Amino acid sequence: MNRKPIYVTQPQLPALEDFYPYLEQIWENKILTNGGPFHQQLEKALCEYLGVEHLALFSNGTLALVTALQALRVTGEVITTPYSFVATAHSLLWNGIKPVFVDVDPYTLNLDPQKIEAAITPQTTAIMPVHCYGRPCDVAAIQRIADNYNLKVIYDAAHAFGVRDASGSILRHGDLSVLSFHATKVFNTFEGGAIICPDAKTKQRIDHLKNFGFVDEVTVVAPGINGKMSEINAAFGMLQLRGVDEAIARRAEIDRAYRELLKDVPGIAPMGEGGEASANHSYFPILVGEDYPESRDALYARLKEAGVHGRRYFYPLISDFPMYRGLPSARRDNLPVAGDAAARVLCLPIYPQLALEDVERIAALIRAA
């Protein structure tokens, strides 16, 4: 039987005709970008939805990370994780900052706070952890270290849309948090991103930085960049926001189905529940262990052969890419937990429209080894 390929994710798209009124509005306004009406509406709506006070929209998550570092005037060395998408560390290189890789915790695969202190030097100015797969970092432990050593904390929260801990949004921790609204994310604006700011003054600085440094027609206060989100993307975001709770609920259903279907497959370990935090089910990572009859790569290839395109997020480790591998902190013996996870991880397809019968078929393929 000829089946359509199943990708690791697929964007949730609202009905096309529901987008027409937004397009008509843009045509009528004739404001296409530079902080237009939809841009303003979306900033406000996202603050309300996420439970944060100040948020600056961006054209993508990577430029938001680059700008967040600029906004806090971070220099020197920054402690970060090797177990992430390459944009995390690239944002440091774009600012002339040296990344210092620290190993991850085996349970969450987030930066291990117990290993951070040993990597701090007189040049260290900040920590950039990632809430990997939307699972919260140990924010309290990280903040204690940052306070002790007077370091900034910038969370790469690209995966953590809508995630909350016991007292509110996970995005309110640290000095700044950065979201991605890329097509593959839980909430998408085709391309997009945002910085969550603690106060209006920081947001204003970030708003200047994303608009070339312009404060008014004749005043430029910093060598800013063009990081603005267009009206089309912002309008699409307004529409997407209407369906995001339903989309996350559907993802939760798929997550539960996988866990049930895979629960006693030897050597297959779906990564843990979200602990005390709410989860957004942005990814469904499994770790393939020695008890499984095939290697992770053999399973990945066999699924692909059957039209199921899982992804090995995050393999290779960032520290293994050529621009990082010469750093002393990139040595494999410095990063044993991250290295082991990168060799064993496979993210299975998860997205709102994925049918339960496809989840069953994927689980059956995994069980069939």
Part of the chain binding ligand T4K (CB under 6 A), chosen from 100-108, 243-251, 305-313, 327-335? 305-313
Member of 184, 204, 211, 278 binding ligand T4K (CB under 6 A): 184
Dihedral (C-alpha) 16, 18, 21, 24: value to the nearest 10 degrees?
Answer: -10
CB of 47 to ligand T4K, least distance (A): 19
Shortest Å, Cβ 352 to ligand T4K: 12
Closest of 104, 78, 102 to residue 90, by C-alpha: 78
Residue window 2-41: x/- pattern of binding to ligand T4K, with contact defined by CB under 6 A: -----xxxxx------------------------------
Residues 236-275 that bind ligand T4K (CB under 6 A): none
The answer to whether residue 110 forms part of the interface with ligand T4K (CB under 6 A) is no
SS3 261: helix
Q: Which residue is nearest to ligand T4K (CB)?
A: 61
Rounded CA-CA distance 83/103 in Å is: 8
Q: Give me the phi and psi of 177, to 5 degrees please.
A: -130, 145
Residues within window 113-142 making contact with ligand T4K, judged by CB under 6 A: 130
Which residues, numbered 152-181, are part of the site for ligand T4K (CB under 6 A)? Answer: 156, 158-159, 180
Q: At what angle do helices 200-209 and 61-71 cross, to 10 degrees?
A: 120
Please tell me whether residue 183 binds ligand T4K under the rule CB under 6 A.
yes
DSSP helix/strand/coil, 218: coil
- Asked if residues 284 and 314 have their Cβ atoms less than 8 Å apart, the reply is no
Residue 244 CB, shortest distance to ligand T4K, in Å, is: 17
| Interacting residues with ligand T4K between 39 and 98 (CB under 6 A) | 60-62, 84-85, 87-88
Beta strands in the chain (DSSP E): 6-7, 54-58, 77-80, 98-101, 124-128, 152-156, 164-165, 168-169, 176-180, 193-197, 214-216, 219-220, 268-270, 284-288, 308-309, 345-348
Q: Specify the residue for token string 């960032």.
A: 318
The Cα 154–Cα 70 span in angstroms is 11
CB 88 within 8 Å of CB 116: no
For residues 31 and 309, which CB has a smaller minimum distance to ligand T4K in the complex? 309
CA-atom Rg of the chain in angstroms: 21
Q: Is 193 in the site for ligand T4K (CB under 6 A)?
A: yes
Q: At its nearest, how many Å lie between ligand T4K and the CB of residue 160?
A: 9
Part in contact with ligand T4K (CB under 6 A); list of ranges 24-32, 41-49, 71-79, 309-317: 309-317
CA dist., res. 269 & res. 232, Å (int): 41
| 307 near ligand T4K, rule: CB under 6 A | no
Residues 329-358 that bind ligand T4K (CB under 6 A): none
Residue 182 found at the interface with ligand T4K (CB under 6 A): yes
| Cα end-to-end distance, the chain, whole Å | 21
Q: In terms of DSSP bridges, do strands 98-101 and 219-220 run parallel, antiparallel, or are they unpaired?
A: unpaired
| Residue 71 or 130 with smaller CB distance to ligand T4K | 130
Q: How far is the CB of 30 from ligand T4K (least distance, A)?
A: 28
Count of positions on this chain that bind ligand T4K (CB under 6 A) = 24
Report, in Å, the least distance between residue 130 CB and ligand T4K: 5
- The residue among 83 and 258 lying less far from ligand T4K, judged by its C-beta, is 83
- Sheet strands side by side (includes 152-156): 54-58, 193-197, 176-180, 152-156, 124-128, 77-80, 98-101
**Nearest-approach distance from CB 309 to ligand T4K, in angstroms:** 6
Q: Which is nearer to ligand T4K, 10 or 278 (CB)?
A: 10
The residues of the shown chain that bind ligand T4K, judged by CB under 6 A, are 7-11, 60-62, 84-85, 87-88, 130, 156, 158-159, 180, 182-184, 193, 309, 311, 313
